[in-house]
Amino acid sequence: MGKPKDTPLKPARRTEELRAELRRHEHLYYALDAPEVSDQEYDGLMNELKRIEAAHPELLTPDSPTQRVGGKPAEGFRKVRHSRPMLSLDNAYSAEELADWDRRVHELAGNLVVEYMAELKLDGLSIALRYEAGEDGSARLASGVTRGDGQTGEDVTTNVRTIRSVPLSISPDKLKKAGLPQAIEIRGEVVMPEAAFLRMNEEREQEGLPAAVNPRNAAAGTLRTLEPSIVANRRLVFFAYFLLIEGEYWPNGQRATLDVLGSLGFRVNAHRKLVGTVEEMTEFIDDAESKRSTLGYEIDGVVLKVDSHATQQRLGYTGRAPRWAIAYKFTAKSGVTQVNDILITVGRTGKLTPTAMLTPVFVGGVTVSRATLHNADFIDRLGLLLGDWVKVERGGDVIPKVAEVITDDAHPRGNRKFHFPTDCPECGNPVVREEGEVDWRCVNADCPAKLRETLLHFGSRGVMNIEGLGDAVVQQLLEKKLVASVADLYRLKDEDLLALTAQVTQINKKTGVEETRERQLLGPKGTANLQKEIAASKEAGLARVLMGLGIRFVGERTAELLAEEFGDIREVMKADGEQLERVEEVGPRISEAIVDFFTRPSNRALVDSLETLKVKMTAEKKVRSTQLAGLTFVLTGTLPTLTRDEAKKRIEDAGGKTAGSVSKKTSYVVAGEEAGSKLDKAIELKIPVLDEAGLLTLLKDGPAAE
Ligand code: IVH
User: What is the CATH topology of the domain spanning 9-67?
Assistant: Helix Hairpins (1.10.287)
- CATH code for the part of the protein at 333-432: 2.40.50.140
Q: Is the CB of 238 under 6 A from ligand 1?
A: no
Q: Is the CB of 187 under 6 A from ligand 1?
A: no
The conformation of residue 349, written as its DSSP 8-state character, comes to: T
Question: How far apart, in Å, are the Cα atoms of 358 and each of 277, 368, 369, 440?
Answer: 44, 8, 5, 23
Ligand 1 atom nearest to 322, measured from its CA: 2
121 alpha carbon – ligand 1 mean position (Å) = 6
For 447-587, where are the alpha helices, taking DSSP H only? 448-459, 471-479, 494-498, 523-537, 542-548, 556-566, 569-574, 577-580
Which residues are tagged catalytic?
Answer: 121
What is the per-residue pLDDT for 78? 86
212 alpha carbon – ligand 1 mean position (Å) = 22
- Supply the residue whose CA is at minimum distance from atom 16 of ligand 1: 121
Q: Is the CB of 29 under 6 A from ligand 1?
A: no
- What pTM does this model have? 0.49
Q: Is the CB of 88 under 6 A from ligand 1?
A: yes
Q: Among 65-74, 447-456, 493-502, 510-519, which stretch is predicted with the lowest mean pLDDT?
A: 65-74
- Supply the residue whose CA is at minimum distance from atom 13 of ligand 1: 126
* Tens-place pLDDT, residues 164-220: 888 888 999 999 999 999 999 999 999 999 888 888 888 877 776 667 777 888 899
Whether 453 contacts 447, CB under 8 Å:
no
Residue 255's pLDDT band (cuts 50, 70, 90): very high
Whether 669 contacts 687, CB under 8 Å:
yes
Q: Is the CB of 117 under 6 A from ligand 1?
A: no
Amino acid letter at 676?
G
Domain ranges in the chain with CATH number 2.40.50.140 = 333-432
Gap between the Cα atoms of 95 and 275, Å rounded: 14
Gap between the Cα atoms of 9 and 496, Å rounded: 72
Of 122, 147, 166, 124, the residue nearest 269 (C-alpha)? 122
Whether 363 contacts 442, CB under 8 Å:
no
The Cα diameter of the chain in Å comes to 102
- CATH code for the part of the protein at 632-701: 3.40.50.10190
Q: Is the CB of 241 under 6 A from ligand 1?
A: yes
Residue 271's pLDDT band (cuts 50, 70, 90): very high
Q: Is the CB of 325 under 6 A from ligand 1?
A: yes
Gap between the Cα atoms of 526 and 473, Å rounded: 11
Question: 340 by DSSP, 3-state: which?
Answer: strand
10 alpha carbon – ligand 1 mean position (Å) = 35
Question: Is the pLDDT reported for residue 69 higher than 60?
Answer: no
Ligand 1 atom nearest to 242, measured from its CA: 1
Domain ranges in the chain with CATH number 3.40.50.10190 = 632-701
What is the per-residue pLDDT for 539? 96
What is the per-residue pLDDT for 189? 97
- CATH code for the part of the protein at 91-329: 3.30.470.30
Question: How far apart, in Å, are the Cα atoms of 687 and each of 646, 650, 671, 701?
Answer: 22, 20, 12, 20
Residue 449's pLDDT band (cuts 50, 70, 90): very high
Mean pLDDT, rounded, for 335-362? 91
Q: Within 13 Å and on the Cβ side, how many CA atoms surround 470?
A: 7
Distance of CA 257 to the CA centre of its chain: 29
Gap between the Cα atoms of 430 and 127, Å rounded: 45
CB atoms within 10 A of CB 80: 20
Whether 326 contacts 101, CB under 8 Å:
yes
Higher pLDDT, 32 or 374: 374
Gap between the Cα atoms of 285 and 271, Å rounded: 11
Ligand 1 atom nearest to 124, measured from its CA: 13
The best mutation among 87, 146, 239, 303 to test binding of ligand 1, ranked by most ligand atoms within 8 Å of the C-beta, falls on 303
Gap between the Cα atoms of 113 and 307, Å rounded: 9
Residue 621's pLDDT band (cuts 50, 70, 90): confident
Q: Among 110-114, 209-213, 451-455, 588-592, which stretch is predicted with the lowest mean pLDDT?
A: 209-213
Of 175, 224, 180, 222, the residue nearest 201 (C-alpha)? 222
309 alpha carbon – ligand 1 mean position (Å) = 17
Gap between the Cα atoms of 634 and 651, Å rounded: 10
- Supply the residue whose CA is at minimum distance from atom 18 of ligand 1: 121
Domain ranges in the chain with CATH number 3.30.470.30 = 91-329
Q: Is the CB of 89 under 6 A from ligand 1?
A: yes
Mean pLDDT of all residues belonging to the chain: 88
The conformation of residue 616, written as its DSSP 8-state character, comes to: -
What is the per-residue pLDDT for 180? 97
- Supply the residue whose CA is at minimum distance from atom 17 of ligand 1: 121
Torsion 382-387-388-391 (CA) sign: positive
Ligand 1 atom nearest to 86, measured from its CA: 2
Kindly report the length of the chain.
706
Question: How far apart, in Å, are the Cα atoms of 192 and each of 272, 299, 535?
Answer: 20, 11, 40
Whether 41 contacts 91, CB under 8 Å:
no
For 297-397, where are the alpha helices, taking DSSP H only? 309-315, 376-382
What is the per-residue pLDDT for 365? 56
Mean pLDDT, rounded, for 646-663? 87
Can you give 380-437 as a three-state secondary structure string? HHHCCEECCEEEEECCCCCCCEEEEECCCCCCCCCCEECCCCCECCCCCCEEECCCCC
24 alpha carbon – ligand 1 mean position (Å) = 22
Gap between the Cα atoms of 202 and 207, Å rounded: 9
CB atoms within 10 A of CB 313: 14
Torsion 573-577-583-584 (CA) sign: positive
Question: Is the pLDDT reported for residue 263 higher than 80?
Answer: yes
For the ranges 345-349, 511-515, 568-572, the one whose mean pLDDT is highest: 568-572
For a pLDDT cut of 70, what percent of the chain falls above it? 93
Query: 448-612 architecture in CATH?
Result: Orthogonal Bundle (1.10)
Gap between the Cα atoms of 5 and 262, Å rounded: 49
Q: Within 13 Å and on the Cβ side, how many CA atoms surround 28?
A: 15
Gap between the Cα atoms of 244 and 240, Å rounded: 12
